[in-house]
């Protein structure tokens, strides 16, 4: 399943669940911007389970929801979609846009980490 198959509300729910690691319907409701009703949250959670984005376990009278895909894997998939969609599959163009953005200021430590990642990619021949 892809993020494109999610509605705005479904994406908001997934954001809360990924941020928390796992969450109940009440916790999700409390953290959503301009939340819908509790029953709407429950209906959306059922849809996300049906779409296999979420799984749940019982904890007493309530369900606790967690993602079916680890956050790191979901990040990689989402980033690949952004690079494909907006940068014609070019990692260089995406990195250039990010580094050239006035909204994204990197400190010396972050720049050193990026440099190390580039060096490692060179050694791998990527």
Phi/psi of residue 19, nearest 5 degrees: -60, -40
pTM of the model: 0.68
CA distance linking residue 95 with residue 92, whole number of Å: 5
Domains for the chain: give ranges and CATH numbers.
Answer: 3-67 (1.10.10.10), 71-124 (no CATH)
CA distance linking residue 4 with residue 48, whole number of Å: 13
Q: Is 48 exposed, middle or buried (0-12, 13-18, 19+ CB in 10 A)?
A: buried
- Tell me the helices (H) and strands (E) count for the chain, helix number first: 6, 2
**Tens of pLDDT along 62-104?**
999 999 998 888 888 888 988 999 999 998 898 888 888 767 7
């Amino acid at each position: 399943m892809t993020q494109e198959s999610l509605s705005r509300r479904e994406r908001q729910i997934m954001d809360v669940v990924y941020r928390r690691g796992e969450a109940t319907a009440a916790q999700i409701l409390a953290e959503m911007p301009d939340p819908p009703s509790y029953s709407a949250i429950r209906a959306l959670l059922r849809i996300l389970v049906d779409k296999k984005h979420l799984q749940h376990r019982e904890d007493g009278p309530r369900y606790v929801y967690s993602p079916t895909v680890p956050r790191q894997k979901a990040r990689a998939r989402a980033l690949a979609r952004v690079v494909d969609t907006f940068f014609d599959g070019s990692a260089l163009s995406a990195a250039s846009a990010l580094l050239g953005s006035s909204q994204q200021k990197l400190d010396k430590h972050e720049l050193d980490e990026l440099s190390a990642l580039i060096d490692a990619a060179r050694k791998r021949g990527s």
